[in-house]
Amino acid sequence: MKKSTHLAIVQESAIHLDLKKSMEKAIELIQKAAAQNAELIVFGETWLSGYPAWLDHCPDVARWDHEPTKKVFAKMYQNSVEVGGAETQQLCQLAKENKIVIVMGMNEIVRKGVGNGTIYNSFIIIDSTGDIVCHRRKLMPTFTEKLVHGLGDGKDLNAVDTSAGRIGGLICWEHWMPLSRMAMHESNEHIHFSLFPMVHEMHQVTCRQYAFEGRCFVVAVGQVMRGSDFPKELKLPDYLVENPEQMVLDGSSCVIGPDGKILLEPQVGVVEMIFFKIENMDQIYEERMSLDTSGHYNRRDVFDFKVNRGR
């Protein structure tokens, strides 16, 4: 097991609903992280190309047959990512050239085959070899997300070995699904990536719980977004009309240790890439002496647990 891991947490905004410009920014950030000797760079929930926070702010978006919303959905689809397509191939090449692991949240589409009209809330993990070693789709879209995202599945609901350590991740409210947590704990995570639109107080609560329960390091990743980033097709609420530059997502990324204690305080309103080094990976097993939910603190004679990991 690695003794330490140097991370780069992206808390800079995507270019919302513009895949080409978002990719240009991602390339710049990956190269910058590698130049600072980061072993891994992580982007937040649907960073490519933008979290649809407008669902929770703009009036009328949930109205049946609302033409502006349909136009925004089409634009969102056209600026989403196909795993195995040009964008992910470019990211794989960047990972290999820069010898860095990439965790990338994205709006994912399937251009051919089953699900070719659906957008998935997904992330991929690319090892420094340039190989995609994990491709996850969020199990359940949360609340308003159901308007734009489809249901995911159990494929790659596990940690994977990379040059930056044994890592895995969940997306947002998956952290409140007890069985998704158990699936990840069973796979022996060392570093867990929690991808959120914003790591507000209750998200911090679930991340601390996850770290304590799973006896692993948790890197909670939030994003920044302003009213001015919202689709121009949609009407802004009055408070954003008055001040479109106010943040609707304020990042608040943080890092938590296997004992549930905060190692990096929430970075509220910070608009930059955040560097952090996990120093003592041995703490994982130090803490598992008292609690190991997939080992000696599990009653397999009482409980039966299985996961369908099919796509």
Q: For the residues 183-195, what does the mean pLDDT come to?
A: 97
Q: Which CATH number applies to 5-288?
A: 3.60.110.10
Cα-trace Rg, the chain: 19
Average pLDDT over residues 93-122: 94
Residue 170: pLDDT band (50, 70, 90) is very high
pLDDT at residue 114 greater than cutoff 80: no
Task: Report helix, strand or coil for 237.
Answer: coil
- Rounded to whole angstroms, the Cα distance separating 91 from 111 reads 19
Q: What number is the average pLDDT over the span 151-180?
A: 97
- What is the secondary structure of 208-236 as a DSSP string? HHHHHHHTSEEEEE--EEEGGGS-TTSPP
Query: How many Å apart are CA 227 and CA 16, to the nearest integer?
Result: 11
pLDDT of residue 112: 84
- The pLDDT tens digits for 271-311 are 999 999 999 999 999 999 999 999 999 999 999 999 999 99
pTM for the complete prediction?
Answer: 0.96
